[in-house]
Amino acid sequence: MNTPNKLTIFRMIITPVFLAVFLLASIPHHYLWALVIFAIGSLTDFIDGKLARKNNQVTVFGKLADPIADKMLTTAALLALMSVGLCNVWIIMIVLTREFAITSFRMVASSQGIIIPANIWGKLKTASQMIFTVLILLFTELNDSGIWPESVSLSLVSNAMLWITAALTAISGVIYIVKSVKLIDFSK
């Protein structure tokens, strides 16, 4: 197994660790620790893709597993944020609907020997989810430490960022489906 694929698997493994740390309020500065774990997971996404392309180590496993690892990490973050009132349930519904739809299209394409890689919109969606989540986790730690200004609604700031992500998610999903329909034989 090559290094990019090991990094993808590592991201899958640390996802439940991130969620557990986020939820364990008994751990001092648990939001900060969750931020660190989430940031490490996000960096592995960036690094594994760069390494795979640079070293010509792009594999079918990587093309399929990397987006799943991303979905696991970002969905865990959205659920964690929802659990503390920082993510609207409709944002999660939009994101999960898109993710299930695209995964279904990928599975059908794969069964026909077609691999449909992520497009720039999907990468923007993932990048926005990861960057905004890091910021929200930082803001949550500041709020928990009493540093966040009381006059600024953390929930409003968080949801505004996540609605941007939801919009990018919907756009990337529509574009992916339009491109996929041209490649997949739905008569099989």
Q: What pLDDT is attached to residue 97?
A: 95
Please choose, from the candidates 98, 135, 132, the residue with its C-alpha nearest in 3D space to the C-alpha of residue 118.
Answer: 98
Residue 62 has pLDDT above 90, yes or no: no
Query: Looking at residue 1, what DSSP letter applies?
Result: -
Please choose, from the candidates 151, 150, 67, 56, the residue with its C-alpha nearest in 3D space to the C-alpha of residue 107.
Answer: 67
Torsion region of 118: left, alpha or beta (phi above 0 gives left; psi -120 to 50 gives alpha): beta
Q: What is the pLDDT of residues 156-178, one digit of tens each?
A: 999 999 999 999 999 999 999 99
Distance separating alpha carbons of residues 13 and 171, to the nearest angstrom: 29
Average pLDDT, whole number, for the chain?
92
174 CA to centre of own chain: 18
> Going along 1-139, which residue ranges are E strands?
none
Distance separating alpha carbons of residues 132 and 154, to the nearest angstrom: 13
Q: What pLDDT is attached to residue 50?
A: 85
Q: What pLDDT is attached to residue 112?
A: 87
pTM assigned to the model: 0.90
Domains and CATH numbers, the chain: 3-183 (1.20.120.1760)
